[in-house]
Structure 1
Amino acid sequence: MDRLTPRGPPGHLPQGEASVCWRLTVRVLEARGLGWADMLSKADPYVVLQLPTVPGIKFKTKTVTNSSHPVWNETFSFLIQTLVKNVLELSIYDEDSVTEDDLCFKFLYDISEVPPGKLLRKTFSLRPQGQEELDVEFLMETTSDRPENLITNNVLVARELSCLDVCVENTKSTAMDSNQDNLELELVLKGSYEDTQRSTLGTASAFRFHYMAAQETELSGHLRSSKSNGWNSDNSAGHLTVPLRPSAMGKEMTIDVPATDAPGVRLQLKAEGCPKELAVRLGFDLCAEEKAFLSRRKQVVARALKKALQLDRDLQEDEVPIVGIMATGGGARAMTSLYGHLLALKKLGLLDCVTYFSGISGATWTMAQLYGDPEWSQTNLEGPIRHTREHLAKSKLEAFSPERLTSYRQELEWRAEQGLPTTFVDLWALVLESMLHSQVMDQKLSEQRAALERGQNPLPLYLSLNVKENNLETLDFKEWVEFSPYEVGFLKYGAFVPAELFGSEFFMGQLMKRLPESRICFLEGIWSNVFSLNLLDAWYDLTSSSEAWKQQIKDKIGHLGRKEDAPATSKASSWLEDLWLQPGTALAQAFKGFLTGRPLYQHTSNFLQGLQPHQDYCNQKNFSTWADSQLDSTPGQLTPQEPRLCLVDAAYFLNTSSPSMLRPGRRLDLILSLDYNLSSPFETLQQTEVYCRGRGLPFPGVEPSPQDQGQPKECYLFSDPTCPDAPVLLHFPLVNASFKDHSAPGVQRSPAELPAGQVDLTGATSPYTLFNMTYKEEDFDCLLQLSDYNIQNSQDAILQALRTVLKRQAPGDGLPGAQP
């Protein structure tokens, strides 16, 4: 992070320096060619001016009635910080006394184009689309106010905050206390973190507001009778307005509240600076905790590589290659297959060669389960595999029992009481936890640090997407959000918070309100909420009546329960899933919208709130690497302006966790790509290559032959010798190639063993469909054994890839040789 101190004219601040604020004066002159509002009359236009970087301030001109050529000649001013990207929004509205005012036109103007000290006249036009024009004058002048101390990573800027303390005093006798108990004091400070605070006058003693120190705003107050019919009642009394200026910092003010019902009530005001240290880390480099982990993990990897490759000497730290596992999603199929892949790596002594372990969607179910044990990779995996096998084979009806429904509601109500937003995805998280574990798992993401203390396990990385809630599809706007036991943050903005603070409330990079850290099941609900669509759409229909929702679901369960004695000859592994999807049932109707349905998102407090875009943010390589939306050039619509995040499963865009693997600072040498797609074993990888090349990220070419496309093998190596920064990629499709004929690598199946190799991955009756959450035990075992075999059968390819990347790390002839 770079701290900035004063100097310099606007727009030319050297890095490491700070800036005073400047006075921007805007004069709205006139408009032409506005046309007719309807068939009978011309428009009644007015202009609204707003700068997102000056929160809480919105100016409005007078309305000129019945005019296509309105003249306003009105002047407004903003106090702006030129280190941030100031884009003025000029909106022309048509006033309507009956319906909501219509937005006619909106112009965006980058204030950095205004030369200091010179009057600039500009005409905004919609030509060639139309004849509408708007004339505006701009003037930028310096101020005498003290400079701001700013913190920036050249993409986001954290500005100074002030804390306004307001104490309520009563100088009269306590005889008025009974009257005061019926009065409510409302204080409003637009643009502040708190915005509005209310309290009964008899109990109100102090308020605190956090707002930008360089902000020109005002504190407004209202004293109203609590017995009136609402805050807008005509019985309100005691209105006051107190201008707040940056120059008033540290000065005390006393304001009498003008209320006849409460004589002697006054407010003591004092604004002081807030602590300068941020709770949000602004920076694109790895956090200190991850760097320390890397040093510890390299010692473990060095020993494992020496043994696996039979090296004749120990590896130095800078010779140790970085290897990562990159697992795709795929529901219970991904969860089961990932266990098999890890089991094989463990048997081969190669699991300790891995430094990073990333996954999305269903793969995160395995990861979250494993990291509940700080020693998971140092012990056998029989325990978690047995646990998963047992719970996948169970009927899922238990997850919808009246007792479970009650417990879900109680926990969601508790979360709401704590101030945590709740959505259907949180309900899905609890249902998922019940399905996978049959009990509450009291684990948190930050607690996974215990699995990293000695470098004994790879560092787990989980991925999600932040999207726009209403007006844009996921493909049009998405931002990668990375989760690790150390911190959670945005790759695009270079902004991270400690894992235990994710979900708490922030403003301008400072922690405002610490909320309880969510159990990891609620994060699994985020990481894998693509699977919640069918379940939660059904629940939406079933819970339309808050009083009857339990009974409706209980009735549905009762109907399903009558089918529990389904014939054992049923070919489907999960008869429950088939019954729910029978045509004509209520749930089938609810599921119909799945393929065309909108993403379900999880709401959480936005820890970027208040932070502002740097003047040159668009030209920063770290930002532009992950900028793939048209809105990235519109700072007023970027995520720091949103009050909350809307998080969805990363598989809504790409079924890959590659962004975490390719983040600058990690620079992986070898990636083990574990792909759990069935229909197209190279599609996700090819999509990832296209995406990475478009972002300027080094990635090898993925060009399988037509034969491999039709009959894929267990392992493929992709590399780019012309690009040393591109990782070597070992790709493992989920296929049944040689396993059907071999019980172990090199061991041919006997005729009696051949049926055990017939694992149905893609047939019409395959038990491994994406949304099947119930496996027969034999189906689980087959998929586990297949995945185990595919890795073991690729042992030579893995060892050769490790030798290749190790040779890259050792300069010249420094590669350790194999022992004779």
Structure 2
Amino acid sequence: MALSQVPGPCLLTIRVLQAHGLPSKDLVTPSDCYVTLWLPTASTHILQTRTVKNSRDPVWNQSFHFQIHSQLKNMVQLEVFDQDLLTKDDPVLSVLFDVGTLRAGESRRESFSLSAQGEGQLDVEFRLRSLSDCAERLVSNGILVARELSCLHVRLEEAGDQKWSKGRVQLAVPGSYEGLQETSVGTGSFHFHYPACWEQELNIHLSGAPQEQLKVPLSTLPSSQLVRFVFPTSQEPLIQVELKKEEGPREPAVRLGCEPCAEEQAFLSRRKQVVARALKQALQLDGDLQEDEVPVIAIMATGGGIRAMTSLYGQLAGLKELGLLDCISYITGASGSTWAMASLYEDPEWSQKDLAGPIELLKTQVTKSKLGALAPTQLQRYRQELAERVRLGHPSCFTNLWALINEALLHDEPHDHKLSDQREALSRGQNPLPIYCALNTKGQSLTTFEFGEWCEFSPYEVGFPKYGAFIPSELFGSEFFMGRLMKQLPESRICFLEGIWSNLYAANLQDSLYWASEPCQFWDRWVHSQATLDKEQVALLKIQEPPTLAGRIAEYFTDLLTRRPLAQATHNFLRGLHFHKNYFEHPHFSAWKATKLDGLPNQLTPAEPCLCLLDVGYLINTSCPPLLRPTRDVDLILSLDYNLHGAFQQLQLLGRFCQEQGIPFPPVSPSVEEELRPAECRLFADPQQPQAPAVLHFPLVNDSFQEHSAPGVRRTPEEKAAGDVDLSPSGSPYHYSKVTYSQEDVDKLLRLTHYNICNSRAQLLEALAGAVRRRRQRRRHQP
């Protein structure tokens, strides 16, 4: 995170000149057109020209002024509308123009065509002038920018002896965090946080009397001084207004940085000591590993409901038995695997203990009847807790109800455990660092395949690696504005996060159609049908033609397909942050190749009031992306895959994703024989791509377990039935929709996953040795 006071304030003047050859709304009546201007880095207002009646060649010749900062990505949107008194105004033209293409002191005239054929045009003049008298302090990571805030304190009192009885008063500062506030005179003070650099004004008006209003330009107020004046209403008593403008919170509460936080780096230093001892013993090394020789080894667990939760327990028990669990620095989870992780990390010493106790508790929960989760007493408890969350300030959404039901399915009683409580389990480096994954998308208009952003949750932080923006985990759900903490809400119980990580109810119809058949078929179709977005191909301006009738019908059906009726909602901690002028060229900004939305900063996540988080399985069933961040420098990933549809399918999709995004990842190319009969594990590595981690993949298969009760121990005829584990895609008792297992089925799955790890001991040791060799080679090549 860097501070900047680079001279960058400029005055942008946009002069809307005229248009030629505008289309008529019908064969008889010419257009009644006006132009709107929107520049969200300078104003919350959408400004508008006058309407020129009955003209296909309207002349406006109107100028608009914006104070901008040249270090920001300033994208102005101009739209031409045909006014209609009876229906919604018809859009004629939409233009996005990058102000960054202008130089200070330059004046440029642009003519925008109304169609690809060049018919009709809009003429606009842009002029940019430097301002030297208003420097602004910016905080930026090269992708996002936090700007200065001002805070306005307002108090209303009666001006005289009479008591106010004329109703309520509405106060508003456009673009402020607080928005519109309604109060009665004499009931207390109010405050507004707003961008310090904007030409804002305080609007005061009486409810029910629009003519009784007052506008106070805030730029005229002296800083840190109390100003009093009387609101000249038409009736007694008058209202005395007290105003005081101060500097808002100076330091952002959102961490802007692409590297792991200081707490994670300190943890890794502690964990490396544990890993070094474990590797020395497991690999029978002659000497101690130096700190820069210790590889970063991670577990990646996929989703899969109860099946994933149960399987992860079995595999962790296998790694514990082999003495390899202490070799792991990270463990990532998605959907069902997060349920196992969240339960284990309630015990700060879980990986240092025998896992028999947690596994017995798991069996109890997995085999119990789940009908009690919907009992009337439980429903009443859900209603009370959800009402309390709304009272505290959390948005209301169906995901919160699912979270409470899910908790009842997995536990006998509500758990008060929180994500930040898991820091105790990392205090001495005694356990791997857990990272939980979710996907942020749009509530409507776009499918998950068209727009998705990885969001990661750790005991230290929650954030978006794409933007390099993170907040302390205890602040997730609180309200932020321009990087500052505005309203801190109590940290949610972890069950509400589990409801996000395994959110089965935020899909739209288009997502469901994608995965109704073999996912790889739709992935292939998606890859070939979507336009790519390369960093050197981002347009400086965008012209959008007016929709035709066919286009409007298509837009209507697209809305039906992409709207998420049960969308999750969490206060957006990126709200109000702006983009750096060079954000798109930043090496850590991961542009989503399937859509050009990443080239349109006005439409990205910082512009949204709420996040829309869902299960990552609606894109790819993996929790791997946090481990692929170059700043984490992971050497080896133990890929624990719980899918029933193909042993390598999701890993291959991840490989395709990484290839499309330019992320180093080894090629996933199993042979035909391996796909037909996969073994317990398979190593994928690429010596020609040293930045890519090696991946030791463990699919959920029942291969040699059918004939062996333990590695090297063949089953007796009486034990044959115990090796029969049904992992068929459709009829399996472990289908993700199953929430209750029989005692026999849960025992079989635990033994199978435990066996598959233990039977792969030689491959595990070889992969660990390879990770140590890789680190040592890198150390030798360092200057």
TM-score of the alignment, normalized to the shorter chain, above 0.5: yes
2:489 paired residue among 502, 515, 520: 515
Amino acid across the alignment from 1:643: P
C-alpha distance in 2 between matches for 1:608 and 1:453: 29
Structure 1 residues 696, 669: closer, same or farther in 2, change over 3 A?
same
The one-character-per-residue Cα deviations of 1:305-351 (angstroms, maximum 9, x if unpaired) are: 11111222222211111100001111111111111100100111100
Could you say what secondary structure the match of 1:622 adopts?
Answer: coil
Give the conservation status (yes or no) of the 8 Å contact 2:8–2:71.
no
Offset at 1:729? 1.0
Offset at 1:39? 4.3
Give the conservation status (yes or no) of the 8 Å contact 1:322–1:668.
yes
1:134 paired residue among 122, 129, 141: 122
C-alpha distance in 1 between matches for 2:730 and 2:64: 68
C-alpha distance in 2 between matches for 1:85 and 1:763: 48
The one-character-per-residue Cα deviations of 1:553-611 (angstroms, maximum 9, x if unpaired) are: xxxxxxxxxxxxxxxxxxxxxxxxxxxxxxxxxxxxxxxxxx99958432011111111
Could you say what secondary structure the match of 1:602 adopts?
Answer: coil
Q: Does 1:68 align with 2:56?
A: yes
2:33 paired residue among 45, 48, 57: 45
Give the conservation status (yes or no) of the 8 Å contact 1:89–1:106.
yes
Offset at 1:105? 1.6
C-alpha distance in 1 between matches for 2:151 and 2:778: 60
C-alpha distance in 2 between matches for 1:605 and 1:439: 28
1:383 is matched with: 357
Give the conservation status (yes or no) of the 8 Å contact 1:675–1:732.
yes
C-alpha distance in 2 between matches for 1:48 and 1:136: 12
Give the conservation status (yes or no) of the 8 Å contact 2:449–2:594.
no
**TM-score, structure 2 normalization:** 0.90
1:19 is matched with: 7
2:175 is matched with: 191
2:443 paired residue among 469, 477, 480: 469
1:115 is matched with: 103
Give the conservation status (yes or no) of the 8 Å contact 1:464–1:481.
yes
Give the conservation status (yes or no) of the 8 Å contact 1:526–1:601.
no
- Residues 582-593 of structure 1 mapped to structure 2, 5 A cutoff: none
Residue ranges of structure 2 left out of the alignment (5+ in a row): 509-560
Offset at 1:373? 0.9
C-alpha distance in 2 between matches for 1:659 and 1:364: 15
Give the conservation status (yes or no) of the 8 Å contact 1:21–1:214.
no
Give the conservation status (yes or no) of the 8 Å contact 2:507–2:618.
no
2:79 is matched with: 91
What's the RMSD between the two structures over aligned residues? Answer: 2.1
Q: Does 1:615 align with 2:581?
A: yes
Offset at 1:254? 3.0
The one-character-per-residue Cα deviations of 1:768-794 (angstroms, maximum 9, x if unpaired) are: 112111100110000010000000000
2:690 is matched with: 724
Give the conservation status (yes or no) of the 8 Å contact 2:733–2:741.
yes
Give the conservation status (yes or no) of the 8 Å contact 2:143–2:583.
yes
C-alpha distance in 1 between matches for 2:218 and 2:683: 64
Give the conservation status (yes or no) of the 8 Å contact 1:56–1:192.
no
Give the conservation status (yes or no) of the 8 Å contact 1:394–1:774.
yes
1:79 is matched with: 67
C-alpha distance in 2 between matches for 1:763 and 1:117: 66
Give the conservation status (yes or no) of the 8 Å contact 1:530–1:651.
no
C-alpha distance in 2 between matches for 1:78 and 1:377: 58
Amino acid across the alignment from 1:183: G
Amino acid across the alignment from 1:214: C
Give the conservation status (yes or no) of the 8 Å contact 2:444–2:564.
no
- Residues 97-246 of structure 1 mapped to structure 2, 5 A cutoff: 97-129=85-117, 131-173=119-161, 176-177=162-163, 180-203=164-187, 205-224=188-207, 233=208, 235-236=209-210, 238-245=212-219
Identity %: 52
C-alpha distance in 2 between matches for 1:752 and 1:600: 50
C-alpha distance in 1 between matches for 2:42 and 2:455: 27
1:750 paired residue among 716, 728, 733: 716
C-alpha distance in 2 between matches for 1:220 and 1:598: 36
C-alpha distance in 2 between matches for 1:763 and 1:143: 66
**TM-score, structure 1 normalization:** 0.86
Offset at 1:102? 2.1
Offset at 1:44? 1.1
Could you say what secondary structure the match of 1:339 adopts?
Answer: helix
2:519 is matched with: none
1:358 paired residue among 332, 335, 350: 332
1:393 paired residue among 362, 367, 374: 367
Offset at 1:383? 2.2
Give the conservation status (yes or no) of the 8 Å contact 2:159–2:230.
no
1:641 is matched with: 607
Could you say what secondary structure the match of 1:496 adopts?
Answer: strand
- Residues 411-810 of structure 1 mapped to structure 2, 5 A cutoff: 411-530=385-504, 598=564, 600-624=566-590, 629-762=595-728, 764-810=730-776
Structure 1 residues 598, 184: closer, same or farther in 2, change over 3 A?
closer
Runs of 4+ in structure 1 off by over 6 angstroms are 531-534
1:345 paired residue among 319, 324, 331: 319
Residue ranges of structure 1 left out of the alignment (5+ in a row): 6-17, 225-232, 535-594, 815-820
Offset at 1:168? 2.0
Could you say what secondary structure the match of 2:300 adopts?
Answer: strand
- Residues 283-362 of structure 1 mapped to structure 2, 5 A cutoff: 283-362=257-336
C-alpha distance in 2 between matches for 1:813 and 1:212: 48
Give the conservation status (yes or no) of the 8 Å contact 2:314–2:751.
yes
Q: Does 1:35 align with 2:23?
A: yes
Offset at 1:237? 5.4
Could you say what secondary structure the match of 1:621 adopts?
Answer: coil
Offset at 1:251? 5.0
Could you say what secondary structure the match of 1:739 adopts?
Answer: helix
Could you say what secondary structure the match of 1:183 adopts?
Answer: coil
Equivalent residue pairs, number: 730
Give the conservation status (yes or no) of the 8 Å contact 1:504–1:514.
yes
Offset at 1:515? 0.7
C-alpha distance in 1 between matches for 2:293 and 2:33: 69
- Residues 245-256 of structure 1 mapped to structure 2, 5 A cutoff: 245=219, 248-250=222-224, 252-256=226-230
C-alpha distance in 2 between matches for 1:312 and 1:351: 21
C-alpha distance in 1 between matches for 2:240 and 2:220: 23
Could you say what secondary structure the match of 2:704 adopts?
Answer: coil
Offset at 1:759? 0.7
1:539 is matched with: none
Could you say what secondary structure the match of 2:137 adopts?
Answer: coil
Give the conservation status (yes or no) of the 8 Å contact 1:745–1:793.
yes
Amino acid across the alignment from 2:128: M
